[in-house]
Amino acid sequence: MSFDESRYDAIVVGSGAAGSWAAKELTEGGLRVLLLEAGRAVDPVSDFPVDAPPGAIGMAGRARAAMRGQPIQAQCAAFFKTTKQFYVNDRENPYTTAPGKRFLWYRGRQLGGRLHTWSRHVPRMSNNEFKSASLRGYGIDWPISYEDLAPYYDVVEQTLGVYGTPSGIPTCPDGQFLGPAKTTQIEEKFKTDVEDRLPRVRVTYGRIVKYDNERIPLPLRLASDTGNLEIRTDAVVRRLLVDHATGRAVGVDYVDRFTGAAHAAHSRVVVLCASAIESVRILLNSQTARHPAGVGNSSGHLGRYVCDHVAYAQSGNVPEHQTEPNPAEDGFDFAATGLYIPNFCDNASVGFPGGYGIQIGIGRGKPTWSMYALGEMQPRYENRVSLDPKVTDAWGVPAARIECTHSADEIRMVAHMRSAVREIATAGGLPVEANHDLERRSIALRLLRSRFFTDYGAYWPGAAVHESGGARMGDSPHNSVLDPYCQVWDAENVFVTDGACFVSSGFQNHTLTMMALTVRTCRFIAAHYARNY
Q: What pLDDT, on the 0 to 100 scale, is given for residue 329?
A: 41
- Helix (H) / strand (E) element for 340: namely strand 339-341
Of all residues in the chain, the percent with pLDDT exceeding 70 is: 93
* Contact between residue 315 and residue 369 where contact means Cβ atoms under 8 Å apart: yes
Say whether pLDDT at 347 is over 80: yes
Query: Is 125 among the domain residues?
Result: no
Identity (one letter) of the amino acid at 300?
A: G
Q: 280 and 326: one domain? A: no
| CATH number (domain holding residue 81) | 3.50.50.60
Q: 173 and 97: one domain? A: no
CA dihedral 443, 446, 451, 455 (to 10 degrees): 170
Q: How far apart are the C-alpha atoms of 280 and 296, rounded to whole Å?
A: 9
Query: Is 143 among the domain residues?
Result: no
Q: What pLDDT, on the 0 to 100 scale, is given for residue 380?
A: 97
Q: What pLDDT, on the 0 to 100 scale, is given for residue 441?
A: 52
Q: How far apart are the C-alpha atoms of 157 and 299, rounded to whole Å?
A: 35
Count: domains in the chain: 2
Q: 332 and 441: one domain? A: yes
At 145-193, the pLDDT tens digits run 999 999 999 999 999 999 999 999 999 999 999 999 889 999 999 999 9
Bridge partners (DSSP) of residue 374 are 311, 357
Q: 243 and 199: one domain? A: no
Mean pLDDT on 474-503:
98
Phi, psi of 444 (to 5 degrees): -60, -45
Q: What pLDDT, on the 0 to 100 scale, is given for residue 60?
A: 87
Query: Is 44 among the domain residues?
Result: yes
Query: Is 260 among the domain residues?
Result: yes
Query: Is 152 among the domain residues?
Result: no
3-class DSSP assignment, residue 288: coil
Q: 315 and 439: one domain? A: yes
Last residue of a domain, one of 450, 485, 507: 450
> Domain residues for 317?
162-212+309-383+406-450
Q: 207 and 223: one domain? A: no
DSSP letters, 467-525, are: -B-SS-B-SSTTS-SB-TTSBBTTSTTEEE-SGGG-SS--SS-SHHHHHHHHHHHHHHH
Q: 430 and 361: one domain? A: yes
Query: Is 479 among the domain residues?
Result: yes
Q: 234 and 263: one domain? A: yes
Say whether pLDDT at 52 is over 80: no
* Contact between residue 137 and residue 354 where contact means Cβ atoms under 8 Å apart: no
In which band, very low, low, confident or very high, does the pLDDT at 301 lie, cut at 50, 70 and 90? very high
Q: 443 and 332: one domain? A: yes
Of 24-38, 318-332, 452-466, the least confident:
318-332
Which of 160, 121, 95 is CA-nearest to residue 341? 121
Mean pLDDT on 247-262:
97
At 109-134, the pLDDT tens digits run 999 999 999 999 999 999 999 999 99
Q: 314 and 420: one domain? A: yes
* Contact between residue 341 and residue 189 where contact means Cβ atoms under 8 Å apart: no
Average per-residue pLDDT in the chain? 93
Q: What pLDDT, on the 0 to 100 scale, is given for residue 321?
A: 84
Q: How far apart are the C-alpha atoms of 16 and 220, rounded to whole Å?
A: 9
Bridge partners (DSSP) of residue 253 are 239, 264
Query: Is 388 among the domain residues?
Result: no
Q: 99 and 224: one domain? A: yes
- Helix (H) / strand (E) element for 418: namely helix 408-427
Last residue of a domain, one of 450, 477, 506: 450
Q: How far apart are the C-alpha atoms of 282 and 510, rounded to whole Å?
A: 21
Query: Is 394 among the domain residues?
Result: no
- Helix (H) / strand (E) element for 443: namely helix 443-447
Q: 191 and 320: one domain? A: yes
Q: How far apart are the C-alpha atoms of 303 and 283, rounded to whole Å?
A: 9
